[in-house]
A = this chain, B = another copy of it.
Amino acid sequence: MAVQVAVCGPRECTEEDRGNARELGRLLAERGAVVICGGYSGVMAAVAAGAREAGGTVVGVLSRDTKEGANPDLTVAIPTGVGEARNNIIVNSGDAVIVVGGSWGTLSELALAMRRGRVPVVQLGGWRILDERGRPVPGIRHAASPEEALELTGLWA
């Protein structure tokens, strides 16, 4: 089985997020990793497009119970029908989790990945989390570029 990397990010994202996600998809596909994503628009569509351009495999783990609204670059669509509970399935499916950009849904995936605690979690842009005393909560690996995000997963060290 190939390495699998979950890439999470918002439907409504910045142009920078979109560019980063596309580049991430391309780099992951070039290294033979299967991309797992949420399967809809924004960062999810960009990472799928990037991976597909490079001939990779992309799985969309959808919240709905049909393929309606899924982006056209998916290799496989999994219409879970479990709503936002699918976020946990995306996170469980990665040998590493990379989060691009910020939204409440994306934050839930970041938090679920850290809660899981089994695999590296890398953040590229997006929101920051401070503890009660205003200090950054430790554990997340922060990348400044798609290349660095891949490096920080440790999967190709």
Which residues of A pack against B, CB within 8 Å?
Answer: 1-2, 4, 34, 36, 57, 59, 61, 65-67, 70, 72, 74-85, 87-89, 92-93, 102-105, 107-108, 111-112, 114-118, 125-132, 134, 137
Q: What are 30 sample pairs from A and B whose C-beta atoms fall under 8 A apart?
A: A1-B67, A1-B70, A1-B75, A1-B76, A2-B76, A34-B75, A59-B78, A65-B92, A65-B116, A78-B78, A81-B82, A81-B92, A82-B85, A82-B88, A83-B88, A84-B88, A85-B85, A87-B88, A87-B112, A88-B88, A102-B132, A104-B111, A104-B117, A105-B111, A105-B115, A107-B114, A126-B132, A128-B129, A128-B131, A130-B130
Residues of B within 8 A of A77 (CB): 1, 4, 93
Contact of A72 among B1, B80, B103 (CB under 8 A): B1
Instruction: List, in ascending order, chain B residues with CB within 8 A of A89's CB.
Output: 78-82, 85, 89
Also in contact, A65 and B78, with CB within 8 A (given A108-B108, A108-B111, A137-B127): no
- Whole-angstrom CA separation of A107 from B93 in the bound complex: 20
Chain B residues whose C-beta falls within 8 Å of the C-beta of A36 in the assembled complex: 76, 78
